[in-house]
Amino acid sequence: MAQEQSFEIIPVDELLVKVEGLRRQNFRLVQISATRLAEQLELTYSFDLEHRLTNLRLHVPTGDAKVPSITGVYWAAFLYENELHDLFNLQVKGIAVDFQGTLYKTAVKFPFGSTKAVFS
Amino acid sequence: MPRTIIPFGPQHPVLPEPVHLDLVVEDEKVVEARPSIGFVHRGLEKLVEKKDFNEFVYIAERICGICSFIHGQTYCQAIEAIMNVTVPRRALYLRTVWGELSRLHSHLLWLGLMADAIGFESLFMHSWRVRERVLNVIESTTGGRVIFGTCKVGGVRRDVTPEALAHMMSEVDRIEHEAREITEVFLNDRTVKQRLCGVGVLSRDTAYELGCVGPTLRASGVAQDMRQLGYAAFGELEFKPVTRTEGDAHARCAVRCEEIFQSADLIRQALAKLPEGDIAVNVAGNPNGEYMARTEQPRGEVVYCVKATGAKNLQRFRVRTPTFANLPALVKLLQGCELADVPVLVLTIDPCISCTER
């Protein structure tokens, strides 16, 4: 049984405005994730209200991937944002609790950050 | 008042799992807690680039040794949604039964750990004795005790005989009877209440704002449970989330106690309605699309983000586990608590670092 979920593609500079809007409507932050595409990172911010899943999606270039932190709106986002940095080499500006790249101790730095295969 | 930093973990007697907390204390009061994880990060999400999407069910099941079945089930649900696979109803009911058995043994495991943490050793042993009964039922119907290996894309691998169903029904009654005696102690014993009541209060608004899930959220009065989505057979069973309003450590314990009986009831309902028929359908081709599957694990909502491009390997597989969602709440709970309450508070979110280090 498929569950209701929507995806809205937005530019990076609209992220905070959209997130603030969702917060005002009492949406709960569900997760933040990234997918490495050929020359872009695809970020997905998921929110839930009464079991309705709403996703904001944005694309940032892999070479200079930067996004603003949403911890000013959803404080609990700090774990997701540190994870995005440590796994994808995404620069998140203004994280409320910044682990400075020490959240994950991986053998390969930024394992999802490049198109090179990590596994041989 | 001078401040001292006390390290907690990554190996601590109350939680032998690799999570570390730097506790900044003034006298006996914790003023700040800073978690460190990632000591044994396994990179399982990266493995999708190497494994066939069907094989990946085995990987998903091994994310956690306690809620393994529901991990496999959630992964399968995501793939089935992308591929528009209609799973036979009998398989959906069997998934429900095995999922609730997982919840039973997880909650009993947690009760034992909590009893151990507060120094109530006999209660710890009784909790795990009852848990053994649950594991025996799981073993008799799946062949495994914690890793079942029964879920697959399109259904389940094993059926259950009528004799096994009858045995399961009688065992569930026995487990419920024995669990009731144990939970009476957790809910009403003076020493347990003194240790848990009023400790680590999380208000309804704070729990929701911090993105808490599972019993941690429901103990603060929010009736949110992913089983309300109606996945597997839950849409056809009588079910109402267990909630408490106190928001303290005892409330989180009480929610888990009551969920034991709720799971027993759901198993009985599912077995009584178990339809006849096939247990799986053939699934041909490769997935092409994207889906976020959500289910309710013993510790709360788990989210599986799966993205496929028509190849046998997935493009992206991402798991947001319930412990990951509850860690920010733990940071808040520890601020201002007594140092002696730290182990209890850490345990009340039922942390699973194996899940977190997927």
Confidence of residue A114 (pLDDT cuts 50, 70, 90): low
The model's pLDDT over B245-260, given as tens digits with 9 standing for 90+, comes to 999 999 999 999 999 9
**Residue B327 to residue A103, Cβ atoms within 8 A:** no
pLDDT higher at B357 or B155: B155
B356: nearest CA in chain A? Answer: A104
What is the C-alpha to C-alpha distance for residues B146 and B128, in angstroms, rounded to an integer?
14
Give the model's pLDDT for residue B98: 96
Confidence of residue A108 (pLDDT cuts 50, 70, 90): confident
pLDDT higher at A114 or B246: B246
**Res. B186: pLDDT tops 80:** yes
CA atoms within 13 A on the CB side of B177: 6
Confidence of residue A117 (pLDDT cuts 50, 70, 90): very low
Helix pair B89-117, B121-142: axis angle to 10 deg: 160
Give the model's pLDDT for residue A116: 52
CA A19 to chain CA centroid, Å, is 12
Looking at the complex, report in whole angstroms how far the Cα of residue A64 sits from the nearest Cα belonging to chain B: 21
Confidence of residue B358 (pLDDT cuts 50, 70, 90): confident
The model's pLDDT over B259-273, given as tens digits with 9 standing for 90+, comes to 999 999 999 999 999
Average pLDDT over residues B312-321: 89
Q: Is A25 on the interface with B (CB under 8 A)?
A: no
- Residue B10: is the preceding peptide bond cis (ω within 30°)? yes
Q: Is A104 on the interface with B (CB under 8 A)?
A: yes
**Residue A55 to residue B292, Cβ atoms within 8 A:** yes
CB-nearest partner of B231 from A1, A5, A31 = A1
> In which element (H, E) is residue B209 found?
helix B204-209
Contact between A53 and B292 under an 8 Å Cβ cutoff? The reply is yes
Looking at the complex, report in whole angstroms how far the Cα of residue A13 sits from the nearest Cα belonging to chain B: 24
Output the six-digit token pair for B12: 């601590």
pLDDT higher at B50 or B73: B73
Question: What topology is assigned to B43-337+345-357 in CATH?
Answer: Cytochrome-c3 Hydrogenase; chain B (1.10.645)
CB-nearest partner of B229 from A3, A75, A102 = A3
Mapped onto helix, strand or coil, the DSSP state of residue A17 is helix
User: How many pairs of residues across A and B have Cβ atoms under 8 Å apart?
Assistant: 91
**Res. B18: pLDDT tops 60:** yes
- Whole-number mean pLDDT of chain A? 87
CB-nearest partner of A44 from B36, B305, B328 = B305
Q: Which of A23, A25, A30 to mutate to test the interface with B (most CBs of B within 10 A)?
A: A30
Residues of B in contact with A51 (CB under 8 A): 226, 228-229
A23: nearest CA in chain B? Answer: B209
**Res. A95: pLDDT tops 70:** yes
What is the C-alpha to C-alpha distance for residues B120 and B94, in angstroms, rounded to an integer?
36
Domain ranges for chain A: 4-93
**Res. A98: pLDDT tops 90:** no
**Residue A1 to residue B230, Cβ atoms within 8 A:** yes
> Which of the residue ranges A100-104, B30-34, B210-214 would you say has the lowest mean pLDDT?
A100-104
Give the model's pLDDT for residue A1: 60
CB-nearest partner of A79 from B41, B231, B328 = B328
Give the model's pLDDT for residue B283: 94
Q: Is A100 on the interface with B (CB under 8 A)?
A: no
* Sequence letter at residue B31: V
Residues whose CB is less than 8 angstroms from the CB of residue B233 and which lie 6 or more positions away in sequence, other chains included:
B89, B92, B93, B95, B96, B270, B273
Q: List, in sequence order, every beta strand (DSSP E) within chain A.
A: 5-9, 28-36, 40-49, 52-61, 66-68, 91-93
The dihedrals phi and psi of A77, each to the nearest 5 degrees, come to: -70, -10
DSSP state of B127: H
> In which element (H, E) is residue B74 found?
helix B68-82
The model's pLDDT over B59-75, given as tens digits with 9 standing for 90+, comes to 899 888 888 999 999 99
CB-nearest partner of B50 from A2, A99, A119 = A119
**Res. A118: pLDDT tops 60:** no
What is the C-alpha to C-alpha distance for residues B244 and B61, in angstroms, rounded to an integer?
31
> Which of the residue ranges A60-64, B64-68, B171-175, B185-189 would you say has the lowest mean pLDDT?
A60-64
End-to-end CA distance of chain A: 38
What is the C-alpha to C-alpha distance for residues B281 and B85, in angstroms, rounded to an integer?
8
The model's pLDDT over A16-35, given as tens digits with 9 standing for 90+, comes to 999 999 999 999 999 999 88
Between the CA of residue A1 and those of A34, A47, B157, B239, what are the distances in Å?
A: 25, 20, 20, 18
Q: What would you report as the CA-atom Rg of chain B, rounded to the nearest whole angstrom? A: 20
pTM of the predicted model as reported, rounded to 2 decimal places: 0.93
Question: What topology is assigned to A4-93 in CATH?
Answer: Beta Polymerase; domain 2 (3.30.460)
List, in sequence order, every residue forming a beta bridge with A59; answer none if it has no partner.
A42
